[in-house]
Chain A
Amino acid sequence: MNTQKLSHEPLIRVVKRTERPPRQVTLLRALALVLSILAGGLFILSLGYNPIEIYATILSGAFRSKIAIQGTVKIMIPLLISSLGVTLAFKMKFWNIGAEGQIIAGAIVASYFALYHSDWNHWVLIVVMFLAGVIGGGIWGLIPALCKMKWNTNETLFTLMLNYIALHIVDYLRDGPWKDPGSQGFPKIARFDANVMLDKVLGVQFGWIVALVLAALIYIYLRYTKQGYEISVVGESTETARYAGMNVRRIVLRTMFLSGAVCGIAGMVQATGSDITLTDAVAGGVGFTAIIVAWLSQLNPITITVVSFLFSVLEKGSSVVQSSYGLSTDCADVLQSIILFFVLGCEFFIRYRFVMRKKGGNA
């Protein structure tokens, strides 16, 4: 037999290992985080800037003053809420990439009341707008779930298309029915009445309280309620759910409504608390960042709260970097994705390890 035809033993092989204990897993993830910050630093260095200086500017930019901190929290509000929203769907392994559209849909329905019923009692109006956000986002989440249940339509792509559809609905409203007559032909939607605006608590619109309350509620919902348990079982295996007598269809529809609804709340809060109008930038990529946050946090609402705060620091800080160094705020997106790349990669080392070829080989 001709042995020369044989391949060499590969330099590196992948071998399954006993799963690492939780403590090591945490360490591993921390290591990935450190490495990603180093990688981001290298990137900054390659552009000819001092990474330590830039990172320091990011941190100080987010915390240097009361206004800066308030700005950071303001960025965090929609990010935290929509991260919680996608978590509900992801826990069920329903690939809801449509947070962006659900945020917009919630904002649109809430804006209707903000524009046309601004004369209502302030608190009645806020409650109504809140519910409007829930329903708008909820329906936008329900549509792909219905198609998925009925025809097994790919939800990843469908929710994605719904993002753009929602975006162009805003453009339509802006150019037509909701166009501000007082803008001299420039297409935009009018600024909301002061009565519509969410009240401020500690200098920031009270959306941050809504966000924190939602984080606590969703933590309890997923962990301690029957519905939360059902979501976990369906996410793990629909066969098992069927076996346990669960109505998978109902659970998926309910959960996707909730997932969309929570994102819708984010849209309502952003439009009526921060933007005080409706623009097509109401979501502005938050729906995508939310997916990164949720995944980085292992779908745990408490961790999500922390991570979305850190990401907001990064966003806020990079806007300061922009003004002082002329580097674009897109820097934040780049750094965030680098972090997730590293954390995604590190999961491998929990269950597998690499084995190098033994010296000398076995020729």
Chain B
Amino acid sequence: MDMFIKFLVAAVLAGTPLLFGTVGEILSEKVGHLNLGVEGMMSIGACSGFMAGYFSDSFAFALIAAALGGALGALIYAFLTVTLMANQNVTGLTLTIFGIGLSNFIGVYALGFSETGTLKLPDGITAHMRNIHIPGLSDLPVVGELLFSYNPFVYLGILIAIIMGLYLGRTQTGLNVQSIGENPAAADAAGIRVIFWKYFNILLGGAICGIGGAYCSMIINRGVWISNNVGGLGWIAVALVIFAGWKPVNAIGGSFVFGALRVLKYYMPKSVIDLPVAFYDMLPFLITALVLVISSMRKSRGIGLPAALGLNYYREER
């Protein structure tokens, strides 16, 4: 039982970066832009967040830098695909290669200034990343551990997912924004500023992805910089969007399920099932592939796939 609670806690922790990536990508896809650059934007966020924290010793500054880094990556994508109408697939993919390369490159560059040969976040910052403790609530048996004892990123992620869910689903602005992903010409004719909102959503999505990246570089390795710290999570996030049916709130559950898959290998008793470690590592990707196939098998209307996803919009197209 104790083991099971530990497993659930680990699942939430492993799922949190996915949650940021997924919500960020949903924002982009809702305005019709399939951004395959999530991995890249997360990498840039991972780098800018970590470096800002490392050099400034400020947690808040690290968060802002991570968001700005992700948004900057998204800006490249948005400028190329929204304004210059470049191919979304190729641009996103290039952004990923760019982001990973840039992040690793700057990591090595910064290591050159380190006397110890490693980059470790100062204690002033790691103190902010420890699990919260709410007197009373966090001390409750089971529930305290399961709900009230995570690091602040976890709550931030859930909060962002809920706010974005309300923004898209409950406000007039959200309705307007969604219509851009469904039919940009209709949105334009209805007086919605298509270009502005595309930029807005893509950049906001990028910023959220960037924070998810910071989780990868700052939390997962306990404040020590390593290369390739996002490690394919961005790609799973892109696929999770489908799993979540393009709804930010659904992404919360989806991310934690995939988080559970990622940590399963540490918690599955060898006496029950003894599978090679490589199989567990493969599991999130395998399940994602299966989800893709299964969701394509039962194609139904109105599950949330924006009708104009992947198509660039030019107002004066004839």
Contact = CB atoms under 8 A, between A and B. Distances in A.
Whether both chains belong to one complex is answered with: yes
A169 interface: yes
B278 A175 contact: yes
A161 B240 CA distance: 12
B125 to A, nearest CB: 24
Given A169-B278, A327-B105, A334-B102, A147 B296 contact: yes
Interface residues on A, range: 35 or more
B168 interface: no
B84 A345 contact: yes
Contacts, number: 150
Contact of B285 (A165, A172, A331): A165
Contacts of B83: 14, 348
Contact of B108 (A97, A328, A340): A328
A156 B89 contact: yes
B101 A333 contact: yes
Interface stretch (B7-15, B90-98, B127-135, B170-178): B90-98
Interface in A310-347: 326-328, 330-334, 336-338, 340-341, 344-345, 347
A97 B89 CA distance: 9
A355 to B, nearest CB: 11
A233 interface: no
Interface stretch (B59-67, B158-166, B231-239): B231-239
A212 interface: no
Interface stretch (B48-56, B143-151, B286-294): B286-294
A289 B242 CA distance: 26
Interface in B58-112: 76, 79-80, 83-87, 89-91, 93-98, 100-102, 104-105, 107-109, 112
Q: Is the interface of B mostly helix, strand, loop or mixed?
A: helix
B36 interface: yes
Interface residues of B, number: 50
Contact of B100 (A15, A174, A327, A333): A333
B297 interface: yes
Nearest to A152: B296
Contact of B292 (A161, A289, A330, A345): A161
Contact of A15 (B97, B112, B292, B316): B316
A164 interface: yes
A337 B278 contact: no
A326 to B, nearest CB: 5
B93 A331 contact: no
A328 B84 contact: no
A129 interface: no
Interface in A33-52: 47
A168 B108 CA distance: 26
A160 interface: yes
A229 B75 CA distance: 38
B287 to A, nearest CB: 9
A160 B235 contact: yes
B282 interface: yes
Given A153-B296, A168-B281, A161 B288 contact: yes
Nearest to A167: B282
A153 B293 contact: yes
Nearest to B93: A291
B238 A157 contact: yes
Interface in A163-217: 164-165, 168-169, 171-172, 174-176
A252 B69 CA distance: 39
Contacts of B97: 285, 288-289, 292, 333, 336-337
A43 to B, nearest CB: 9
5 nearest CB pairs, A to B: A333-B101, A337-B98, A172-B278, A328-B108, A168-B282
11 contacts: A152-B296, A157-B242, A165-B285, A168-B279, A168-B281, A171-B281, A328-B104, A333-B97, A333-B105, A334-B98, A337-B101
Interface of A: 14-16, 47, 95, 97, 147, 151-154, 156-158, 160-162, 164-165, 168-169, 171-172, 174-176, 285, 288-289, 291-292, 295, 326-328, 330-334, 336-338, 340-341, 344-345, 347-348, 352
Interface of B: 34, 36, 76, 79-80, 83-87, 89-91, 93-98, 100-102, 104-105, 107-109, 112, 232, 235, 238-239, 242, 276-279, 281-282, 285-286, 288-289, 292-293, 296-297, 299, 314, 316
